[in-house]
Amino acid sequence: MCRFVIYKGTSPVQLSHLLTRPCHSIINQAFDSRLRLDRRRPINGDGFGVGWYDTVYDEELGSQPCIFTSVTPAWNNANLIRLAEKIKSPLVFGHVRATTAGSLSLDNCHPFVFGKIMFMHNGGIADFHLIKRKLQSGLSDEVFNTVQGNTDSEWAFALFLSKLPNPHAKSFTPQVLQQAMLNTISALNSYAEEAGITEPSLMNFCVTDGESVVATRYISSRQDEAASLWFSSGTTFSEYMTGGHYKMTKADKRENIIMIASEPLTFEKADWMEIRTNNMVVITPKMNFLQIPIIDKFYVSPSDPAALNRGTDFAAAKGLLSPRNSLAPVQGREPAPQIVI
C-alpha cells in the first residue's frame, strides 16, 4: 500500500511539521504497529516523494513545484530530514510507496509533475498490463514520451494530462481539473470493461496546479469500499505535546489549513472526517472545500441501504483501509451539486 498527504494553507507550513516530526505522519506511521494497516509489508520502505510550491511567486524560479524523491526509506533519509527543516510551502503533496507495481526506482516515485501540474495516486489499476497498450494508444506523442517509469500510476497521470484541454495552460480552473479527473476515471473504466477485467480498481488520485486541489476516493465497484481518504481543516496545526503529538486547532470559523490524507494524521480522531467512497473533493484557490459524488454505474447513494454494505475486505486485503470507529459520514457538510459523468 501507499500513503499520501496533501496540505494546503493560507500560510506556508514548514515541511518537517507535516512529514518528519509528527509521530503520526505518513512517514512515521510505519513505526507504530497500532497504526499499521497493511499486514503484508512495511509501508514506505520502497521510496517516497514530496512536492511543494513556492510561498511567493518568483519569476526566476517559475511556477512549477519542486520535487524531492528517494528510493531509500523516508524515515532515515538524511536529506529529507534536513530539507524538511528548511523549507516552507503553502501547498504540499507527500507520498510514501510500497511497490505494488513497478520496480524500486526514482522514476516510479510519486508525485509526478508536468509543468505546474502535480499528481499522485494511492491504489492500483487492476490488471493494468491488460489495458496499458490501449491507454497508451490514446495519448499524444508528447504525453506518451513524458512517462519515465513503469507504473500504472504514472500512466494514469499521462491519461489525465491527455484529458486536459491544454496541459501547458498557464492556469486551470477547478472545473477543468475536475472534468479531466472524471474523464480519466471514465476512460480507465472503459478500458477495463473492454478488456474484461472484473477486479475493481482503486483510484484515489490527487492533482493540483498549485492553486486548486482535486482528489478522489473511488473504486470501480458497487460492492466494495474504496481505499480510505480523510480530511481535516482548521486554523493551526501544531505540536501540543513533545514527542511529535500534533493536533489541528480551530481558533475561529476561518479555515486556514485543509489537509487530505489516506488516513488520519493525528490521534485526535474527531479532527478527521472521512470522505465518502466514490466522491471527489476540491479545494479551491480561495480555500473552499467541496465534496462531490462521482455518479456513474459504481455509485451508490448514501440514502441507499446498499451504501452501508460496501465490504471492506478488498481494500483491506490491499492494505488500503484506515482503521475507524464508525462509518459516520462527514458531518455538517452538505454534498455539493452532483456531477454526472
Instruction: Please list the active-site residues.
Output: 2
Among positive and negative, which fits the CA dihedral 314, 316, 318, 323?
A: positive
Q: Which of 197, 255, 190, 188 is nearest to 216 (CA)?
A: 188
Would you say 169 and 117 are in contact if contact means Cβ atoms under 8 Å apart?
no
Q: Is position 42 an interface residue for a copy of itself (rule: CB under 8 A)? A: yes
- Cα distance between the two ends of the chain: 28
Q: Is position 14 an interface residue for a copy of itself (rule: CB under 8 A)? A: yes
Closer residue to a copy of itself, CB minimum distance, 14 or 183:
14
Least distance (Å) between residue 144 CB and a copy of itself: 7
Q: Is position 76 an interface residue for a copy of itself (rule: CB under 8 A)? A: yes
Q: Is position 60 an interface residue for a copy of itself (rule: CB under 8 A)? A: yes
Least distance (Å) between residue 181 CB and a copy of itself: 25
- The DSSP H or E segment spanning 77 is none
Q: Which of 157, 161, 64 is nearest to 115 (CA)?
A: 64
Longest Cα–Cα distance in the chain: 55
Residue 300 CA to its chain's centroid (Å)? 22
Least distance (Å) between residue 74 CB and a copy of itself: 9
Least distance (Å) between residue 331 CB and a copy of itself: 32
Q: Is position 61 an interface residue for a copy of itself (rule: CB under 8 A)? A: yes
- List 22, 73, 90, 123, residue binding a copy of itself (CB under 8 A): 73
Q: How many residues appear in the chain? A: 341
- List 115, 134, 138, 149, residue binding a copy of itself (CB under 8 A): 149
**Partners of 176 in the beta sheet?**
none
Interface with a copy of itself by CB under 8 A: which residues?
14, 30-34, 36, 39-43, 45-46, 54, 58, 60-62, 66-73, 75-79, 82-83, 85-88, 99, 103-107, 129, 132-133, 136, 141, 144-145, 147-150
